[in-house]
Chain A
Amino acid sequence: MRKSIFAVAMAACGLFATSAIAADYPERDVTLIVQSSPGGGSDIIARTIARIVNEGKLSSTQMLVENKPGGGGAIAYNYVAQRKGDPYVMGTIATSFFVAPLMGQSPAKVEDFQPIAVIAGDPFILVVEAKSGIATLDDIKAKKVLRIGNTGPVTDPALLAVSLGNELGIEVRPVPFNGDGEVTTALLGGHIDLQFGNASEVMAQIEAGRLNPIAVTSPERLASLPDVPTFKELGSDIELMLYRGVVMPKDMPAEAVAFWEDVMKKVSESDIWKTQYVERNNSVPLYWDADEFARRVPEISKLYADYLTTIQK
């Protein structure tokens, strides 16, 4: 009996502690959960963010990075989603954040998260092998049938390939590989014709003159490729980036959201972020606060949902 009274008292204290979060939040180290293995795209971002937060003392406690790879991101997303109201856990996101629940592969839906901020967008560059004789979208249109590499059927490059085929009225044959590296290898060897490459992965090949860029999927031209047009400029509707941001579990105290939103703004404005991430990976600098991010989530989710219905027909 005494035990249960004690438990009730403890629970009451717990409730009290959550509501009084603003006073000295954060009191403990915060863990940033990464859905990729070390060395992967999201991991590089997570470690850069943690470095800026810790070195710049943007939080009174440390930010720790923990990798939870597997299940196509589902393991990490579920881990975060299950910690409802826990203000000491947050996670990075990638395309899988939107796609995994749509595919029925992850019980954690996009609504199970509290969006915090998006701090960069990674564009895709449509590239061809340098000796292929293709230089413009019109050249592609003239080909009628093209083989285009992707990294799986429900990835951004695959979605972009379908959009391109529909817009130009050509037949695209999507050839799936196990990673961007394998796609680029096949493109260099002339086994496929096109690739929507992540800017950070194909830039070295472009600089070396092995691949030629046709157009970029970002809203504006890239600083590193000022001569390469955007799809929008060419009269196309294609515009897509891999949005880089962080989310927290649902039921988050407003103070915690405001705190991390502000920290992420400082991260996105820091020199380290600009030089070590944005410039190095040819990303597009941008900042969405929690409200804007929350507004965009259903839009982006719908984009993938529409795509999935077209390919599942």
Chain B
Amino acid sequence: MEIFSDLFFGLSVATSSPMLLATLLGVLLGLAIGVLPAMGPPAALAILLPIVVSFEPTVAVAGLAGVYYGAMYGGAVTSILLGIPGESAAMMTTLDGYPMAKNGEAGRALGIATFASFVGGFISILLFTAIAAPFAEFALRFGPIEMTALMVMTLIFSTSLGGEDRAKGFAALGLGLWLGTVGLDIVSGSPRFNFGTFELLEGIEFTVIAIGMYGVGEILASVNETAPKVARARYTLRALLPRISDMYKTWKDLIVGSVIGFVVGVLPGAGATAATIFSYSFSKKISRHPENFGKGAPEGIASPESANNSASYAAMIPLFTLGIPGSGTTAIMLGGLLMLGLQPGPLLFEQNPDFIWPVIGTFYTGNLMLVVLTILLTPILASLVFIPAAYLFPIVLGIVVYGVFSVNYSFFDLGMAMGFGLLGYLFRKFSYPSVPVLLGLVLGPILEQNVRRSLIMSNGDIGIFASSTISVVFLLLSASLLLLPMFKWAKARLKKAGV
């Protein structure tokens, strides 16, 4: 088998000392970037790029890729410990990770996240090694029509995340969808809801809203609590350690997350975040105890964490097999490859096997390094919960301010983050769910753009959505998702009436 000899060659180069060092530096930086709120992988890669261009291409790309998937591990830490999504792909992890940590099981939550990240990453790397090229060809079949149908399905799936009060859930989703429209309209080029400022022309950064609503909002809400919950006494050493039993308890969700992450992650413009939303909702749908989701369910951490790691490798497939970046982060990696004098294209695998296989090799070594590093760091990180709120909140606020400011060096962003903090506080006060806001913000623009692309292609004929098999399958699935509960309800009513 040629693939084994290729992979063996790749692994042997990847375990040479300069490559190991580059991978280690990459994943360490990635971890740090992931932990820091606001500073996402694109920003980190952008900072690193001018430095690594002087390195040998394979070493440089090993480091750059390490930052990317390392950040997926790190993102979970902030989500779980502080309830602030460090970056968009970690947002679903806050849903169950933060409650679990608040229940006194921070170490357990981090353990589940780490293991899920490892499994998701590992399954994705195996799939990457085995089927990257044919899978990239499959992904090409996803055009605007298919993406529209996929997003419709994801949105319908995610309605289960709205919380108890449906009206409030939809109101929050509506707000998120509206926030997603701020900025230049991609079809007409005219600005929408920018209120005459050019700071809002490119839309509102996800991190500004997420950090504001979750980070600042949570702090404001906690400060307002006159009697802080004294849960601290229950913290024990055991609470700081991961539990092995959680790992086989969540096997179903690990597979769901890994597969959804791989499939959605490879699609152009969909990305890791959409994959985590889909995967989390799917896990909740198949769970026997969906009512535990959002209150610290292990499955609710395992599913999105395996999905975002899986997606981070899958997102690199179009770049390495076709030479086309599928996301903002991989676009910067493409810039890096160009600066290094490599022209990624469909011939990269054939013409540069001595580049591509060592890089794939470092995915294996990097993933192993990350699992060891994170497990070792877990008790230390989890001890953060011992810090009293009086000291922790100012520190977190400082990190938040630094994080938001560092993205664009903009006071405007900082002001907006504080504004969204106030909104987050009001949401908590009046028990509106914050998650649908972020869902709308992430999924809305993808859905809107693809609907409009499809309708431009067909000159307004809505029948275009029935012209593709993939689209029809997704739309039928969506319809059945909506109709099934109605049938059940109708059946129950009929039965009742019969009696």
Contact = CB atoms under 8 A, between A and B. Distances in A.
Interface string A161-182: 0000000000001111111011
B198 A184 contact: no
Contact of A38 (B145, B187, B332, B457): B332
A176 B318 CA distance: 20
Interface stretch (B43-51, B293-301, B420-428): B43-51
B176 interface: no
B347 A204 contact: yes
Interface in B296-348: 318, 322-326, 331-336, 338-339, 341, 343-347
Contact of A186 (B144, B323, B344): B144
A188 B140 CA distance: 7
B345 A71 contact: no
Interface string A202-219: 011101101000000000
Interface size class of A (residues with CB under 8 A): 35 or more
A191 B145 CA distance: 9
B326 A181 contact: yes
A181 B339 contact: no
A154 interface: yes
Contacts of A72: 184, 198, 201-202
A189 interface: yes
Contact of B187 (A47, A153, A182, A190): A153
Contacts of B237: none
A146 to B, nearest CB: 10
A178 B269 contact: yes
Interface string A186-206: 101111100000001001110
A152 B410 CA distance: 25
B339 A44 contact: yes
A70 B142 contact: no
A298 interface: no
Contacts of B336: 39
A43 interface: yes
Contacts of B453: 175-177
B456 interface: yes
A174 B188 CA distance: 11
B46 A189 contact: no
B204 to A, nearest CB: 12
B453 to A, nearest CB: 5
B189 interface: yes
Given A182-B269, A188-B140, 9 more contacts: A38-B49, A39-B332, A39-B339, A44-B338, A176-B456, A181-B325, A191-B143, A203-B343, A204-B343
Interface of A: 37-40, 43-44, 47, 65, 67, 69-72, 74-75, 78, 103, 105-106, 147, 152-154, 173-179, 181-182, 184-186, 188-192, 200, 203-205, 207-208, 210, 276, 280-281
